[in-house]
Amino acid sequence: MKAGRTMDSNTNVQEQNKNSKLVYNIYDIVSIVVSALVVIFLVFTFVTRVLVVSGDSMLPTLQNGNSVAISSVDHKFEYGDIVIITQPNALEKTLIKRVIAVGGQKVEIDTDTGIVYVDDKPLEENYTLEPTYEKGNMEYPVYVPEGYVFAMGDNRNNSTDSRMTFVGLIDERYIMGKVYFRLAPFGQWKVD
């Protein structure tokens, strides 16, 4: 009888060990998944966000429906940055535009030639869909005050941007972040 009890107790010990390992493995997996979700939440809340482009104002650089990753960490803006703008405007929309000039710079547009000038120098704008023939209703030259940017869409003749007084100059405090790369369509990462 003792041999039977020993086998039963060994079997019970083995089953308990298996159950303990199973519980430990499940706990380990759950803790890894929860930790990963917390890290993802923190990154997408404080460092990076994903937004979907709506509209054609950034053609040919960005198309309607593209998903882009933006970083809200860097708040030093310069010419060429593509930014997400949350500044209240008459359209009641969040805007995605390219920074053309920053505080302390002068902007002029020659609609006859389609050339944009910043500080009396023509911009080399190989990213635009076509030359800039629309100047909006701003009075030129426009002097950008410190803490503001002058932003325009790449589809210059089909973009509501800083050239229109109801959008105007963009207060840097209303820039959510810079676009760093495209997520979708897959494989077309660059936005420059």
Domain check: are 117 and 179 in the same one?
yes
Active-site choice (97, 159, 162, 178) = 97
CATH of residue 87's domain is 2.10.109.10
Q: What number of other Cβ atoms are within 10 A of residue 149's Cβ?
A: 25
Position 45 confidence tier, pLDDT thresholds 50, 70, 90: low
Report whether pLDDT(152) > 90.
Answer: yes
Find the domain containing 32 and state its range. Answer: 1-46
User: Domain for residue 137, yes or no?
Assistant: yes
Position 151 confidence tier, pLDDT thresholds 50, 70, 90: very high
User: Domain for residue 154, yes or no?
Assistant: yes
Written as one letter, the residue type at 17 is N
Domain check: are 104 and 152 in the same one?
yes
Q: How many CA atoms lie within 13 A of 74 on its CB side?
A: 11
In the chain, the number of structural domains is: 2
Domain check: are 113 and 158 in the same one?
yes
* Prior bond of 131 cis (ω within 30°): no
Q: Which two tokens stand for residue 82?
A: 């593509």
Confidence (pLDDT) at 73: 78
Domain check: are 2 and 59 in the same one?
no
Domain check: are 41 and 114 in the same one?
no
User: Domain for residue 3, yes or no?
Assistant: yes
Position 176 confidence tier, pLDDT thresholds 50, 70, 90: very high
Mean pLDDT (whole number) for 7-30: 76
CA gap 12, 25 in Å, rounded: 20
- The verdict on whether 97 is a catalytic residue reads yes
Strand order across the 67-71 sheet: 48-52, 67-71, 175-184, 82-85, 95-102, 148-152, 170-171
CA gap 134, 180 in Å, rounded: 28
CB 61 within 8 A of CB 159: no
User: Domain for residue 189, yes or no?
Assistant: no
User: Domain for residue 40, yes or no?
Assistant: yes
User: Domain for residue 166, yes or no?
Assistant: yes
Position 3 confidence tier, pLDDT thresholds 50, 70, 90: low
Confidence (pLDDT) at 51: 83
CA gap 69, 186 in Å, rounded: 13
- Which pTM value belongs to this model? 0.75
Q: Which two tokens stand for residue 79?
A: 């010419």
Domain check: are 16 and 58 in the same one?
no
Express each pLDDT in 97-146 by its tens digit: 999 999 999 999 999 999 999 999 999 999 999 999 999 999 999 999 99
Domain check: are 39 and 111 in the same one?
no
Mean pLDDT (whole number) for 165-189: 86
In DSSP terms, 26 is beta-bridged to none
- The verdict on whether 2 is a catalytic residue reads no
Looking at per-residue confidence, does 149 or 16 come out higher? 149
Q: Which two tokens stand for residue 63?
A: 């198309």
User: Domain for residue 192, yes or no?
Assistant: no
Domain check: are 37 and 69 in the same one?
no
User: Domain for residue 82, yes or no?
Assistant: yes
Express each pLDDT in 48-93 by its tens digit: 678 889 999 999 999 999 999 898 777 799 999 999 999 988 878 8
Q: Is 63 exposed, middle or buried (0-12, 13-18, 19+ CB in 10 A)?
A: middle
Of all residues in the chain, what percent carry a pLDDT higher than 70? 85
Domain check: are 109 and 34 in the same one?
no
Confidence (pLDDT) at 31: 85
Domain check: are 1 and 75 in the same one?
no
Active-site choice (20, 57, 71, 93) = 57
Domain check: are 158 and 80 in the same one?
yes
Which residues make Cβ contacts (< 8 Å) with residue 114, sequence separation at least 6? Answer: 130, 131, 132, 133, 156
CA gap 53, 47 in Å, rounded: 19
Domain check: are 169 and 83 in the same one?
yes
